[in-house]
Chain A
Amino acid sequence: MAEPIEKVSIIVSRGSLEGVYPGLIMANGARMEGIEATLFFTFFGLDAIIDNRMDNLSVATVGNSAMRMPGGLKMPTFLGAIPGMSKFATVMMKKEMEKIDIPPVREFVELIHDSGGELYACKATVDMFHLNKKDFCPQVSEIISVGEFYEKSAGAKIIFT
């Protein structure tokens, strides 16, 4: 029988709502199964743990050829650029997520942290964007380098999102 997964290290690199959730869902899902989970936020993914941004993430409607309109009809991509479209898609998605009990980003981050998951911010991006530790929500343990990320990921499956 194949070895069960005991540890995952999940990289969140995107800052849109649909870019952030897969990593959060996988990290929480891992903890629910008793799998150790580490989350590493990098580039625009940092928005998911920046205290004054994490409540305002939105769906990226521009350049997304898989977007559908309510009712399931394919949305012409140029419509994604209309002012208010991203806001509208975000409200819709948040509503649907609430229905299936997916928490808002901040609550989800708290849930993962309280369940024993660890959250880290990427040093290179933090330096590039002139951020520091106090910009992040309290659930973030540390700002770490790529090298430290690999050290912390020893024995883990690394998942890039």
Chain B
Amino acid sequence: METVELVGKQFELDDDGHLKNQSDWNEEVAKEFAKLEGIEELNDRHWIVINFMRKVYQEKGDAPSIRRLTKESGVDTKELYALFPKGPAKKAAKIAGLPKPKGCI
């Protein structure tokens, strides 16, 4: 079982390196995951995306598609890619403590 130490605690990870137990997630953990992904500080815009992803996941059991994300979160495509360079959907899901998104879009 892969684990990662963040904020002085051990966290279990799934095969994709995402948090295994969602109950382990909190804002501090999110900040630490962001640092691992190369995002030093999470600003208000990052949090809009993270919270939107968590909300959709709780409703639907999967992270939103990039289309839904950019249409409904209030953050457009260009900004989304600027906030989470190199793979926004996956990175945002990881920071939000969710499994890797399953969809293709």
- Which residues of A come within 8 Å of B, CB atoms? 25, 28-29, 31-34, 100-103, 107, 110-111, 114-116
Contact = CB atoms under 8 A, between A and B. Distances in A.
B67 A101 contact: yes
Contacts of A115: 66, 77-78, 80-81
A21 to B, nearest CB: 11
A107 B81 CA distance: 17
A154 to B, nearest CB: 20
B89 to A, nearest CB: 5
A34 B65 contact: no
Contacts of A102: 67, 105
Which among A32, A100, A101, A110 has the highest number of chain B CB atoms within 10 Å?
A32
Interface residues of B, number: 19
Contact of B104 (A29, A31, A110, A114): A29
B67 A114 contact: no
A90 to B, nearest CB: 19
B77 A101 contact: no
Interface string B75-88: 01110110001111
B87 A114 contact: no
Contacts of B80: 115
A111 B90 contact: no
B65 A101 contact: yes
B45 to A, nearest CB: 16
